[in-house]
């Protein structure tokens, strides 16, 4: 796993965090706030809203959120544990906290060791006590965030004022409310992602490719890289279906999709354009020979099943066109040229 930090900005250090408050009224406020949480675009935006609530409305002047994002699909990023939205006095120390957590992640899961209640200085062991004294904390606690009953994150809270209200139960209820919103965001994300996936192979469908292509092209331009489109077509696929049956043909398509994913990077786009035709969009270094890149991927498909052959075509974004349609047409012409030369050989 890797650890990343995504900050929400400086804390609003006003007097609100030191005020005593009515737990019932505060819980009602949290529930009301969570209505807007559900409209967050993603978990990062949700955590920033939560951090602002703690700073402005609750007597918690410092904290951060740990969250482990999991991949929905095999060709997505691996799991990453990130620190989100630090606020208050933890901001100057967040690099130290991140470094320690990175080391901890190498041999144990920190999400399994949460206090789930407020602890005072005399209740925490060394070296935590020394750190708290140095950083100005008088109490702290950690509460789990869950998805589907599994711990995927933690709400890490710190207070600098002594003799604060012991509202551990309220913090527990807030963590449950955040977890509920995370469930809603995940369901929404799954629904959105599923609409962009080919159900047979799990790779992108046309909608997914066309929706993701602009971002890949922008990133390639930012990093001064070439973008190449590859089209891959299973030769004589109709005969395969007619001779061996559609279930066998479906299995060939799944194997091709898996092989394409295995032969490109997670950041590249793999999609089923229709029937037995697949597309791959890759960002490559400027000294790369584009035709060789596509040919390497094509050769990686040769072993998916005995007797299965694949033809390929390619196009270079820019010289071959600046729109998807122009790019696709150029790659399609090279694909059929490849098919004709193979038949003639």
Residues known to be catalytic: 276
* The pair of three-digit structure tokens given for residue 227, joined into one six-digit string: 């973008």
Cα 301 off chain centre by: 28
d(CA 256, CA 302): 9
CA dist., res. 148 & res. 216, Å (int):
32
- Angle of helix 43-57 relative to helix 168-194, nearest 10 degrees? 160
Cα dihedral 200→204→205→210 (10° resolution): 180
Question: What is the 3-state secondary structure of the chain?
Answer: CCEEEECCCCCCCCHHHHCCCCHHHHHHHHHHHHHHHCCCCCHHHHHHHHHHHHHHHCCCCEEEEEEEECCCCCCCCCCEEEEEEEEHHHHHHHHHHHHHHHHHHCCCCHHHCCCCCCEEHHHCCCCHHHHHHHHCCCEEEEEEEEECCEEEEEEEEEECCCCCCCCHHHHHHHHHHHHHHHHHHHHHHHHHHHCCECCCCCCECHHHHHHHHHHHHHHHHHCCCEEEEEEEEECCHHHHHHHHCHHHHHHHHHHHHHHHHHCCCCCCEEEEEECCEEEEEEEECCCCCHHHHHHHHHHCCCCCCCCCCEEEEEEECECCECCHHHHHHHHHHHHHHHHHHHHHC
Judging by beta carbons within 10 Å of its beta carbon (0-12, 13-18, 19+), is residue 205 exposed, middle or buried? Answer: buried
């Amino acid at each position: 796993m890797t650890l990343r930090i995504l900050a929400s900005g400086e804390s609003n250090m006003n007097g609100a965090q030191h005020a005593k408050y009515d737990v019932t009224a505060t819980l009602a406020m949290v529930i009301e706030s969570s209505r807007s949480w559900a409209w967050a675009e993603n978990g990062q935006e949700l955590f920033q809203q939560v951090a602002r609530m703690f700073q402005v409305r609750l007597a918690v002047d410092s904290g951060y959120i740990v969250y482990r994002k999991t991949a929905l699909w095999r060709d997505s990023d691996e799991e990453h544990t990130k620190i989100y939205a630090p606020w208050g006095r933890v901001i100057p120390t967040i690099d130290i906290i991140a470094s320690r957590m990175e080391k901890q992640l190498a041999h144990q899961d920190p999400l399994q060791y949460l206090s789930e209640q407020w602890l005072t200085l005399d209740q925490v062991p060394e070296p935590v006590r020394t750190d708290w004294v140095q950083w100005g904390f008088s109490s702290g606690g950690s509460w789990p965030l869950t998805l589907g009953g599994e711990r995927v994150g933690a709400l890490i809270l710190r207070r600098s004022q002594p003799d604060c209200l012991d509202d551990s139960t309220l913090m527990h209820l807030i963590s449950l409310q955040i977890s509920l919103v995370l469930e809603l965001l995940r369901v929404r994300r799954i629904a959105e992602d599923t609409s962009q996936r080919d159900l047979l192979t799990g790779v992108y469908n046309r909608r997914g490719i066309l929706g993701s292509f602009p971002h890949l092209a922008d990133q390639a331009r930012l990093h001064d890289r070439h973008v190449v489109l590859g089209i891959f077509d299973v030769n004589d696929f109709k005969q395969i279906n007619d001779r061996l049956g559609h279930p066998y043909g479906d299995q060939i398509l799944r194997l091709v999709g898996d092989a394409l994913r295995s032969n490109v990077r997670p950041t590249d786009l793999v999609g089923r354009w229709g029937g037995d035709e697949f597309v791959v969009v890759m960002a490559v270094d400027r000294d790369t020979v584009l035709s060789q890149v596509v040919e390497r991927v094509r050769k990686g498909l040769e072993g998916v099943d005995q007797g299965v052959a694949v033809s390929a075509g390619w196009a270079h974004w820019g010289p071959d066109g600046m729109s998807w349609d122009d790019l696709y047409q150029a790659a399609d012409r090279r694909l059929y040229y490849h098919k004709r030369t193979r038949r003639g050989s």
